[in-house]
Amino acid sequence: MNITLRVWRQKGRGDEGRMVTYKVEDVSQDMSFLEMLDVLNEKLTLAGEDPVAFDHDCREGICGACGVVINGVAHGPETTTTCQLHMRSFKDGDVIDVEPWRAKAFPVIKDLVVDRGAFDRIIQAGGYISAPTGTAPDAHANPIPKADADRAFDAATCIGCGACVAACPNASGMLFTAAKVTHLGMLPQGQPERAARVVKMVNQHDEEDFGGCTNIGECAAVCPKGIPLDTISQLNKDLLGALASGKL
Amino acid sequence: MTELYIEGDPIRDEKAPEGPIEQRWDKRRFSAKLVNPANRRKLSVIIVGTGLAGASAAATLGEAGYQVSSFCYQDSPRRAHSIAAQGGINAAKNYRNDGDSIYRLFYDTVKGGDFRSRESNVYRLAQVSVEIIDQCVAQGVPFAREYGGLLDNRSFGGVQVSRTFYARGQTGQQLLIGAYQALERQVAAGTVKMHTRHEMLELIVVDGRARGIIARDMVTGEIETHFADAVVLASGGYGNVFFLSTNAMGCNVTATWRAHRKGALFANPCFTQIHPTCIPVSGDYQSKLTLMSESLRNDGRIWVPKKAGDQRDPRQIPEDERDYYLERIYPSFGNLVPRDIASRAAKNVCDEGRGVGPGGLGVYLDFADAIKRMGRPAVEAKYGNLFDMYQRITGENPYEVPMRIYPAVHYTMGGLWVDYDLQSTIPGLFVTGEANFSDHGANRLGASALMQGLADGYFVLPNTINDYLASGPFEKLDENTPEAKEAAESVRARINKLLSIDGNRTVDSFHRELGHIMWEYCGMERTEEGLRKAIERIRELRDEFWQNVKVVGTNDELNQSLEKAGRVADFFELAELMCIDALHRRESCGGHFRAESQTEDGEALRHDDEFAYVAAWEFTGTGEQPVLHKENLEYEYVEMKQRSYK
């Protein structure tokens, strides 16, 4: 099939950026979306033009590196990562808009590549359990009810891609933050730092220029890993508890 | 063959203590010099790569108080390719009470590696495995649990006990996030300085010691010089030399190859693992292959039609016209034979014309029986995410139609040669995880890569690197140090060269062609004739690359073609060495199958009298004869015999 792409091109941080139209011919429906962009880039390179820069690595939906807004939807129409989106989701003659994540906290580096360093800094603020190497008790010392373990796991599957931020009208990073707060907060090992963790992570989130959460739910709707929206309720509950305890 | 390489002096691991195997690690930890906590602050370590082996080492050395600088080419350390490991991590906990022990894990790993790994290293790996699980649980890694709240286990290929800990089909992700969080905790504490979107392009060696790296800031193009008292490479494997592999797109050999060019020996480069259960290739545009976890072989059954060329819908093929070939040939291990054996068996049935799917390059992995036995919800709970991934990629529903799978390049057992301390032949250069060669011999067992990466990073390196650092801090260096200047200039010259060729072919087109050559001649089956042809073609293609590659853009920006071009240039040199190594090893062992060396029933035939050694290669120049140094392998505990999984 033949596709028309309108792709965001931006040389660097200082550049204004614009949408540029490209035709891609003979697209197979078994191609992934990124393989279709590879085909475009091969063509551009041979023509001596700058290929479209986009982040990607594992191409199997787990590293979280890839992510673009496709026709206005983060990761496109299939609720998966961009690398796992295949061209069978489109049809011959389609015009597809491709844009980077748009959020103040994620400045564009080039074309479709953005800087998501803010996520790492939220983790630095408290998204861990302090367990220096060598200090651990036997793994079976502390049985964990399966329901708690499963809930922690569901939250832990976050890949840090940033689609939640791109989808949110407020550009909030709350689903990402809440996923980590819930993952660690559900586990007995995570209790000693639970109150401090949520406060520090939320503070860092706000410092990074993410918007506030107003419970719209667009984040969970595009999340390729299905992180549930109620992790944000959990975060709010933990935050309120931490602040009310007065122990911080 | 002597025209291809020169044989040099043998090499020995001087660091592994003698004596009873179970005491060696204790002895080494005791004999290694220590650095007192106050002095650690004065010592610096560079760590390249943030996968399991790199992130765990950075976190642990940071906690110990060293000044650590960590580098990764991705935008965040959390994206390193360890994240994609699916199935699990082995540990000799014997929580199942099924006869497991440290000794059995050691034995299985030595046997699984087809007697081409070191006993001392493997025993230590098995010892440390137990602590890894404890450490990860303490960090909050959400391993699968049973209703009683205790950890669950499953089985993997090549073993008859259940010792694999897992987190659904995302074990690598959960372990890496654990290590990543520990790393970020140290970043916050100020002990680790993180450099994301930085690629190491050269090693700095001063007075014979590794003293730093040249790295390119991938956003600005700046060529930076970083110094330290020791350098650790945890930069992963080189499977992408085949173009199509299960590796991430960015995985590359550059860090280790640059070190090899500076004097570090490269060991057993031809030992690559072809994983039996991957989604088959669907077209020329394909950029990578996707693995389906080996854990699927716990419940899925692998088969092809008995009749060649049978085009029927698999569901229409009656039971007695199917060949469950692994169960037939290997009744005691069945579908859970080691990876090298399962892969070759798949190739053999496809060569007989019994393969399925496009081009006849596929076999069925069927869950119909499992769904009948366990019910669909149980299958969903255990393998749901894998089934979803399969459906997403192929557009077929694996709950209804058997999956099609085919072997693909997955892991490289070869890597930089290291001693028991994980130190390479360049003093001060340490190598951990997949980037070194040390523990898996000629074939790695499933769920052992995660074990080795974390063993190296959390427990081994932090107890050996001190022995080296105790003689530091070394002389202070700056950018005017001649060796550093020379290294930075060579990097700039190479980049300028790549940008100025302005030829007619893209980097990918060269890479794809190189991959075809390697897969055809240095893949699942290797022959004398094929390998010679491959060497010739690699050299021709490499020459063409340096005259005809087209890289657009400049160095002073994010330039993904330039990044790729540098990596592919190094793959060309590595590819030649892999073929020479494969050619010189005139035996079959593990993943290295020489057609000339097989038993009557087509199994790998080793020649222990001639080849029971590690082949460690010394670089002498591009296209020049490398020098072979042999490290003799001795087996005091496990008797060397023909592997049998029948």
The pLDDT tens digits of the residues spanning B609-639 come to: 999 999 999 999 999 999 999 999 999 999 9
Beta strand extents in B301-456 (DSSP E only): 301-305, 322-323, 363-366, 403-412, 415-416, 429-431
Q: How many residues does chain A have?
A: 248
d(CA B79, CA A66): 10
pLDDT of residue B146: 93
B159 compared with B249, residue with greater pLDDT: B249
pLDDT, tens only, B35-65: 999 999 999 999 999 999 999 999 999 999 9
Closest Cβ–Cβ partner in A42, A60, A139 for B84: A60
pLDDT, tens only, A51-100: 999 999 999 999 999 999 999 999 999 999 999 999 999 999 999 999 99
Confidence of residue A248 (pLDDT cuts 50, 70, 90): low
Confidence of residue B321 (pLDDT cuts 50, 70, 90): very high
pLDDT of residue B155: 85
Mean pLDDT, chain B, whole residue set:
96
pLDDT, tens only, A133-166: 999 999 999 999 999 999 999 999 999 999 999 9
Confidence of residue B423 (pLDDT cuts 50, 70, 90): very high
- Domain ranges in chain B are 275-409, 483-607
For the segment B482-492, the average pLDDT, to the nearest whole number, is: 98
Mean pLDDT, chain A, whole residue set:
97
pLDDT of residue B1: 65
Neighbouring CB atoms inside 10 A of B378's CB total 13
Nearest to B335 by CA among B346, B351, B321: B346
Distance of residue B78 Cα from the nearest chain A Cα, in angstroms: 8
Residue B89 DSSP SS3: strand
Say what the ipTM of the complex is.
0.98
Q: Which residues of B touch A84 (CB under 8 A)?
A: 389, 392-393
Q: Which of B61, B78, B293 to mutate to test the interface with A (most CBs of A within 10 A)?
A: B78
User: In this structure, what DSSP letter does residue A106 have?
Assistant: S
Question: Does the distance separating the beta carbons of A120 and B392 come in below 8 Å?
Answer: no
Confidence of residue B503 (pLDDT cuts 50, 70, 90): very high
Whether B339 sits among the annotated catalytic residues: the reply is: yes
Confidence of residue B320 (pLDDT cuts 50, 70, 90): very high
CATH number assigned to the domain with residue range B483-607, chosen from the 4 options 3.90.470.10, 3.50.50.60, 1.20.58.100, 2.170.120.20: 1.20.58.100
Architecture of domain B275-409: Alpha-Beta Complex (3.90)
Beta strand extents in B245-395 (DSSP E only): 266-267, 272-278, 301-305, 322-323, 363-366
Question: Does the distance separating the beta carbons of A46 and B76 come in below 8 Å?
Answer: no
Closest Cβ–Cβ partner in B84, B135, B188 for A58: B84
Question: Does the distance separating the beta carbons of B506 and A42 come in below 8 Å?
Answer: yes
Give how far Cα A195 sits from Cα of A202, A208, A228, B338, B394, Å. 11, 21, 21, 47, 45
Q: Which residues of A touch B459 (CB under 8 A)?
A: 133-134
For residue A177, pLDDT beyond 90: yes
Structural domains of chain A, ranges and CATH numbers in brackets = 3-110 (3.10.20.30), 116-245 (1.10.1060.10)
Do residues B330 and B341 touch, judged by C-beta distance below 8 A?
Answer: yes
- The catalytic position among B40, B261, B339, B537 is B339
For the segment B177-203, the average pLDDT, to the nearest whole number, is: 98
pLDDT of residue A246: 77
Confidence of residue B2 (pLDDT cuts 50, 70, 90): low
